Chains A and B, each alone.
Chain A
């Protein structure tokens, strides 16, 4: 089955700096890669996603890149703000079945 590894497990940055979270996956058939933000006591919320036929996608301060050959994808957050502090999960999906990474706890220090 699919296996997703996510790094780093914790990330602390200064407000205004950039944050990068990386994930690798094992099943080359996976074709959809969402990223979720989970705040304390809440369910995961989709922040951006990318499909396998696209190499990069950007939405304001958030961007995701996908390298299908290397089977890795990354989340980039620029100009971080304290409200970006949360746990972030990547996932690799195929035919409705999503495999999640173990999460990255991002702390943005004001």
Chain B
């Protein structure tokens, strides 16, 4: 069956622009997670949702970052006024239900801020 999908796969933007990254979880998965992964490092937690409710956003670096999942399915991670330090791989994962279930990762969106 279809796994987690993310779009776009690559995004190049200029400093100061806003970007929206989309995640489409596995159908029926209740929990959705956003991570940021720098080259040579492990994923860094950003935020997660159960259904449409944002359960924990403590990993969002600052108030330029926000995420939503309005209908409990597709999620969007938005970065406003992008900066060069925002350049990274942004990964989404979903799990059937709850924090201790297997998380299935998507292919990621590579963001480059010039």
Contacts and interface: CB of A to CB of B under 8 A. Distances in A.
Interface of A: 4, 6, 31-32, 34, 36, 42-46, 49, 51, 89, 91, 93-103
Interface string B17-58: 000000000000001010000001111110010100001101
Given A89-B43, A101-B42, A32 B100 contact: yes
A33 to B, nearest CB: 10
Contacts, number: 65
Q: Interface majority SS on B: helix, strand, loop or mixed?
A: loop
Given A96-B56, A101-B42, A103-B42, A51 B100 contact: yes
B44 A97 contact: no
Interface residues of B, number: 27
Q: Interface majority SS on A: helix, strand, loop or mixed?
A: strand
A96 B48 contact: yes
Interface stretch (B64-72, B76-84, B101-109): B101-109
A96 B49 CA distance: 9
A22 B4 CA distance: 29
